[in-house]
Amino acid sequence: MAELLLKVQKREKLADQLYGQILEQIVSGNLGEGTKLPSENEICASFGVSRPVVREALRKLQSDGLVYARQGVGSFVKKRPPQGLIEFGGVNDVAGLLRCFEARLAIEGATARMAAERASVRHHRDIENALSRLENSVAAGDIADKADFDFHMAIARASGNEIFLTILNSLHGVMQKSMNVALNITRAGSAERAKRVLAEHRQIYDAILGRDGESAELMMRYHLHQARQRLTDHAREM
Amino acid sequence: MAELLLKVQKREKLADQLYGQILEQIVSGNLGEGTKLPSENEICASFGVSRPVVREALRKLQSDGLVYARQGVGSFVKKRPPQGLIEFGGVNDVAGLLRCFEARLAIEGATARMAAERASVRHHRDIENALSRLENSVAAGDIADKADFDFHMAIARASGNEIFLTILNSLHGVMQKSMNVALNITRAGSAERAKRVLAEHRQIYDAILGRDGESAELMMRYHLHQARQRLTDHAREM
Amino acid sequence: MAELLLKVQKREKLADQLYGQILEQIVSGNLGEGTKLPSENEICASFGVSRPVVREALRKLQSDGLVYARQGVGSFVKKRPPQGLIEFGGVNDVAGLLRCFEARLAIEGATARMAAERASVRHHRDIENALSRLENSVAAGDIADKADFDFHMAIARASGNEIFLTILNSLHGVMQKSMNVALNITRAGSAERAKRVLAEHRQIYDAILGRDGESAELMMRYHLHQARQRLTDHAREM
Amino acid sequence: MAELLLKVQKREKLADQLYGQILEQIVSGNLGEGTKLPSENEICASFGVSRPVVREALRKLQSDGLVYARQGVGSFVKKRPPQGLIEFGGVNDVAGLLRCFEARLAIEGATARMAAERASVRHHRDIENALSRLENSVAAGDIADKADFDFHMAIARASGNEIFLTILNSLHGVMQKSMNVALNITRAGSAERAKRVLAEHRQIYDAILGRDGESAELMMRYHLHQARQRLTDHAREM
């Protein structure tokens, strides 16, 4: 199985690079919204990759909401992500950043709910400390990716299940990178947008403090969903 | 933060050992169902650990459904897990095994849903292969922890998000251990029980094959919930 | 809007009748598993109904898992429901019976969770009473649709939100009818099947008694999902 | 059972009236945030109601997040809802209004998801029409409870399951009343608040249009959760 895994990862690696190249053309405006992408055959030829790699890349662009397919016709550009996604994220890493949100939605929905049900007073204080640092940094115009990561880790710790902590630690690199990109884009955006980002974090904290597990899960999922949208949707100002 | 993390882990390690010791007495019948546990003070004294360690252990026994608390009165034994849990699991590792199910419920609910929505024909074949090996092994009276693990990994692979694969790989040790314990207990149980275990796996596969994401998530969550119950509940024969 | 609603309901009524006619042919074996259905045009002609009615009926057969579509090819029979579905359910009412489960999945998942969180001792007793009556009736070979309905109503009452009670009361007719059909089919089935049906109910009650909201929701959703499958899947013996 | 139901409803009716009376004192500031409520005995005596009625009312104030209990000490005011909740809602109806949101969270989470998966182009147009009317009314400073209700009904219709339509129709009175109260409070609030309310509706529509069932469910649940908070939380400006 080890060998199979390796092969899969190699194909995925190529697909992610292709994903990045196509994304770059969408972000630059080279491929405008509504434009039809070249056919699978044409993409195979121009990038020198096999058809499974092309399909994988297109499927990922689709599940990331950047491209849509019309049965029997082809793939079309759905929306143009902000410039900063490539500028701060890097062409080859963007696919991984977006995939990370999908995994976090499942994991952190659970950590937020459990934190609401089980957090001690000390856990509350740790979460609040990270939140304060995040608020101060954003107010000062700094990139607070460390405080953002600490906020999410403090919630995972409050869940009382150390396996979640191990998992988030193993995602440390890609999580903090995506936070860095998101906060860079936020800083370049409106004041209202920065306010929204902070309000989302505070809503999560309030639900945990109020010991309302269902709300905490809902607020965390909403936050991660919006964070992901802010990365991919140029027009989005919320 | 690294230092803090270490301290937390040390306390958790002690709490898990204490958890195991108390569990051992419940499994042996030394502490029968409905029996009141010694007070926090008494446990501190007899095990030579601090009060936070005792509270952590009691809280975990409670969230694992083995003990319940009555406000202002104390903690009581709720149910007696099967002998095999300690015999095959080992006193010091049981807490971690049970915690693992909690994390898997969040993660594999998501992988099953995504697998239903995104699996290729090849993914279907990989899942089915692992399922067949699992069925054959159980029929032959073997312990098929490897096939069981492969089944869950094939689903994670079919989710199309390699981060889930990385996460499950990082849980490989504790997952396969818990499967080994569960399958050992199942082998010692009735034929009907073995049939139920296999039926749960097949229901997951059927939902993925039918591309029904909601069912696949529901069936996976049901399976993990039942698997965990089979580990902790002596009386449970389903 | 009232007028629009009326029109929609009329079209849906026709579509449900057409649904029943096609279903009858599937149940009778006239249209075997894997058989291609007549084209939309042919169905329009032979039943004298408009194309939107045909599409509605096909869409519902599809979302009920009885038929599947292959893009640009047509619709095919997916599985053959048991004889009893039409015998006890009646050709014209089957669509509504199946639709009822979909609504109940959303509503009763919530009532079960809230019942676990809020039930008083008296509520527990009411649920248990209904469960005992259900168990005794099934053991005696009777059709216990009244006890089954009471069980679900007692859980709704224990949710503490009387709006759920009002909703389930308004679904009384279709719910008890579907329970009657299901219990008739169960009675005609194996002893093991009857055992499974009762075990599903007891799992729900156990989770409510144990004040475990998440389990109660999961067990209720699993039960409703399985109940619906038993109605539509001939082969299903669980 | 009919008789039992009646009795329950009578007790619930009394409890709702008591709920309203206590709520009125919280809204007026007579019972400030953090204040301890009178004991159960004292409330029984001053209102001339039985203890089960008092407990029911307190339990509901608690599950509505207006009051919290400290084991063995008593109940305390948690937050002060806006003046408009009583002014526009009426003392005796407020409990029912809040309960309505709890039921809608379960039901409309499901209708939004199914609408995303099944809506026809015509359904999309109906939802968008209601949304436009809602936006125009709010911009003109009108109370658009009819457009708001139509928006949610159009989504239920797009779910393709007419049972949901029947259910929401049976909740018509209490739903439109709660929308009227909410929109009255919104109109008295900041422009930013009105903008948020509209943005929440648009997010739901966007997810349905994009055929993203999971987002549609999340956005609907978030909206209903926030709408409920706006009714009960004086300080809330989001």
- The predicted-structure confidence for B132-152, as pLDDT tens digits, reads as follows 999 999 888 888 888 999 999
The answer to whether residues C208 and C115 touch, using CB atoms and an 8 Å cutoff, is yes
The answer to whether residues D84 and D233 touch, using CB atoms and an 8 Å cutoff, is no
* pLDDT confidence of residue A201: 96
* pLDDT higher than threshold 80 for residue C48: yes
Distance from CA of A40 to the nearest CA of B (A): 17
Strands (E), A84-191: none
- Round to the nearest angstrom and report the end-to-end CA distance of chain A: 44
Q: Which chains touch B (3+ CB pairs under 8 A)?
A: A, C, D
pLDDT category of residue B7 using cuts at 50, 70 and 90: very low
Helices C121-139 and C172-188: crossing angle, nearest 10°? Answer: 40
**Dihedrals φ, ψ of A74, to 5°?**
145, -170
With beta carbons under 8 A apart, name residues in chain A contacting C71.
Answer: 71-72
* pLDDT confidence of residue D12: 59
**What sign results for the dihedral spanned by CA atoms A15, A17, A19, A22?**
negative
pLDDT category of residue C124 using cuts at 50, 70 and 90: very high
In this structure, which topology does domain D85-232 adopt according to CATH?
Answer: Four Helix Bundle (Hemerythrin (Met), subunit A) (1.20.120)
Q: Which amino acid appears at position B76 of this protein?
A: F
Each residue's pLDDT tens digit, D53-81: 888 888 888 877 888 888 778 899 988 88
Q: What percent of chain D has pLDDT over 90?
A: 35
* ipTM (interface predicted TM): 0.81
pLDDT category of residue A61 using cuts at 50, 70 and 90: confident
With beta carbons under 8 A apart, name residues in chain B contacting D72.
Answer: 71-72
Q: State the Cα–Cα distance between residues C88 and C185, nearest whole angstrom.
A: 8
**Residues A181-214 as b or e (16 or more Cβ within 10 Å = b):** bbbbbbeebeeebbebbbebbebbbbbbeeebbb
Nearest by CB: A222 against D199, D210, D222:
D222
* pLDDT higher than threshold 60 for residue D166: yes
* pLDDT confidence of residue A21: 86
* pLDDT higher than threshold 70 for residue D10: no
The answer to whether residues B182 and B170 touch, using CB atoms and an 8 Å cutoff, is no
Other Cβ atoms less than 10 A from the Cβ of B15: the count is: 22
Each residue's pLDDT tens digit, A22-36: 888 888 888 888 999
- Angle (CA) D133-D139-D144 rounded to 5° is 45
- Average pLDDT value for chain B: 85
**Chain B within 8 Å of D70 (Cβ-Cβ)?**
no
Nearest by CB: C163 against D63, D103, D160:
D103
Q: Is D221 exposed, middle or buried (0-12, 13-18, 19+ CB in 10 A)?
A: buried
Whether A63 sits inside 8 A of B160 (CB atoms) is yes
Q: What percent of chain A has pLDDT over 90?
A: 35
CA-only gyration radius of chain B, Å:
19
Each residue's pLDDT tens digit, D185-206: 888 778 888 889 999 999 999 9
* pLDDT confidence of residue B223: 96
Q: Which amino acid appears at position D186 of this protein?
A: T
**Cα–Cα distance list, A133 to A143, A180, B226, C69 (Å):** 11, 15, 42, 54
Enter the tokens of residue A33: 């919204």
* pLDDT higher than threshold 90 for residue D29: no
* pLDDT higher than threshold 90 for residue D124: yes
* pLDDT confidence of residue C234: 62
Lowest-confidence region among C35-39, D96-100, D165-169, D194-198 = D96-100
Q: Which amino acid appears at position D115 of this protein?
A: A
Whether B238 sits inside 8 A of C212 (CB atoms) is no
Q: State the Cα–Cα distance between residues D225 and A49, nearest whole angstrom.
A: 47
The answer to whether residues D8 and D16 touch, using CB atoms and an 8 Å cutoff, is no
Enter the tokens of residue A47: 């990038």
Other Cβ atoms less than 10 A from the Cβ of A28: the count is: 12
Each residue's pLDDT tens digit, B88-119: 777 777 888 888 999 999 999 999 999 998 89
Lowest-confidence region among D13-22, D142-151, D206-215 = D13-22
Alpha helices in B29-93 (DSSP H): 40-47, 51-63, 84-89
Enumerate the CATH 1.10.10.10 domain ranges in chain A, comma separated: 2-80
Q: State the Cα–Cα distance between residues D181 and B178, nearest whole angstrom.
A: 53
The answer to whether residues D96 and D164 touch, using CB atoms and an 8 Å cutoff, is no
Q: State the Cα–Cα distance between residues A232 and A80, nearest whole angstrom.
A: 7
Q: State the Cα–Cα distance between residues A155 and A162, nearest whole angstrom.
A: 11
* pLDDT higher than threshold 50 for residue D5: no
Q: Which amino acid appears at position B9 of this protein?
A: Q
* pLDDT higher than threshold 70 for residue D22: yes
Distance from CA of D37 to the nearest CA of A (A): 19
Q: State the Cα–Cα distance between residues D214 and D24, nearest whole angstrom.
A: 39
* pLDDT higher than threshold 70 for residue A6: no
Nearest by CB: C170 against D59, D103, D170:
D170
* pLDDT higher than threshold 50 for residue A238: no
* pLDDT higher than threshold 60 for residue C199: yes
- Average pLDDT value for chain C: 85
Q: State the Cα–Cα distance between residues A129 and A123, nearest whole angstrom.
A: 10
Enter the tokens of residue B121: 């024909």
* pLDDT confidence of residue B216: 96
Long-range contacts of B191-194, Cβ-Cβ distance < 8 Å, separation of 24 or more:
B192/B237, B193/B230, B193/B237, B193/B238, B194/B138
Mean per-residue pLDDT, B32-61: 87
**Closest listed residue to residue A75, CA positions, set A26, A29, A40:** A40
Question: Scanning every residue of chain B, which has its alpha carbon at the shortest distance from the alpha carbon of A164?
Answer: B103
Coil/strand/helix, residue B224: helix
Enumerate the CATH 1.20.120.530 domain ranges in chain C, comma separated: 85-232
Enter the tokens of residue A156: 């995972």
pLDDT category of residue B155 using cuts at 50, 70 and 90: very high
Residues composing chain C: 238
* pLDDT confidence of residue A10: 56
Q: State the Cα–Cα distance between residues D157 and D162, nearest whole angstrom.
A: 7
* pLDDT confidence of residue A7: 39
Distance from CA of B102 to the nearest CA of C (A): 12
* pLDDT confidence of residue C235: 59
Enter the tokens of residue B120: 């290729």
Mean per-residue pLDDT, D111-130: 94
**Chain C within 8 Å of A48 (Cβ-Cβ)?**
no
pLDDT category of residue D17 using cuts at 50, 70 and 90: confident
* pLDDT confidence of residue B6: 34
- Round to the nearest angstrom and report the end-to-end CA distance of chain C: 44
Enter the tokens of residue D150: 């139509």
Q: What percent of chain A has pLDDT over 70?
A: 92
The single residue listed with the structure tokens 């709702």 is D16
* pLDDT higher than threshold 90 for residue C105: yes
pLDDT category of residue A9 using cuts at 50, 70 and 90: very low
* pLDDT confidence of residue C168: 92
**Cα–Cα distance list, A182 to A177, C170, D203, D218 (Å):** 9, 48, 20, 21
* pLDDT higher than threshold 80 for residue C113: yes
**Closest listed residue to residue D117, CA positions, set B189, C59, B123:** C59
**Chain A, 71-130: which have a CB under 8 Å from a chain B CB?**
96, 99-100, 102-103, 105-107, 109-110, 114, 118
- Average pLDDT value for chain D: 85
**Chain A within 8 Å of B6 (Cβ-Cβ)?**
no
Question: Scanning every residue of chain C, which has its alpha carbon at the shortest distance from the alpha carbon of B218?
Answer: C222
The answer to whether residues C19 and C94 touch, using CB atoms and an 8 Å cutoff, is yes
Q: State the Cα–Cα distance between residues D210 and A110, nearest whole angstrom.
A: 26
Mean per-residue pLDDT, C75-91: 82
Mean per-residue pLDDT, A190-202: 89
Q: What percent of chain D has pLDDT over 70?
A: 92
* pLDDT confidence of residue A8: 41
Whether D163 sits inside 8 A of C171 (CB atoms) is yes
With beta carbons under 8 A apart, name residues in chain C contacting A71.
Answer: 71
* pLDDT confidence of residue B228: 87
Residues near B114 by beta carbon (within 8 Å), at least 6 away in sequence: A102, B158, B159, B160, B161, B213
Each residue's pLDDT tens digit, A216-229: 999 999 999 999 88
**Dihedrals φ, ψ of A237, to 5°?**
-120, 15
Q: Which chains touch D (3+ CB pairs under 8 A)?
A: A, B, C
With beta carbons under 8 A apart, name residues in chain A contacting D221.
Answer: 218
**Residues D3-16 as b or e (16 or more Cβ within 10 Å = b):** eeeeeeeeebebbb
Q: State the Cα–Cα distance between residues C82 and B11, nearest whole angstrom.
A: 57
Each residue's pLDDT tens digit, A66-95: 888 887 788 999 888 888 887 777 767 788
* pLDDT confidence of residue C207: 92
Strands (E), chain D: 67-70, 74-77
* Answer CATH for B89-232 from 3.40.640.10, 3.40.190.10, 1.20.120.530, 3.30.390.30: 1.20.120.530
Enter the tokens of residue D71: 């084991």
Structurally, what CATH architecture does the domain formed by C2-80 represent? Orthogonal Bundle (1.10)
**Residues D31-63 as b or e (16 or more Cβ within 10 Å = b):** beeeeebbeeeebbeebebeeebbebbbbbbeb
* pLDDT confidence of residue A209: 92
Enter the tokens of residue B101: 């199910």
**Chain C within 8 Å of D190 (Cβ-Cβ)?**
no
* pLDDT confidence of residue C224: 96
Question: Scanning every residue of chain B, which has its alpha carbon at the shortest distance from the alpha carbon of C211?
Answer: B65
* pLDDT confidence of residue A1: 29
Give the residue, C87 or A181, on which the prediction is more confident. A181
Give the residue, B107 or B10, on which the prediction is more confident. B107
Q: Which chains touch C (3+ CB pairs under 8 A)?
A: A, B, D
* pLDDT confidence of residue C211: 87
Q: Which amino acid appears at position A219 of this protein?
A: M
pLDDT category of residue D36 using cuts at 50, 70 and 90: very high
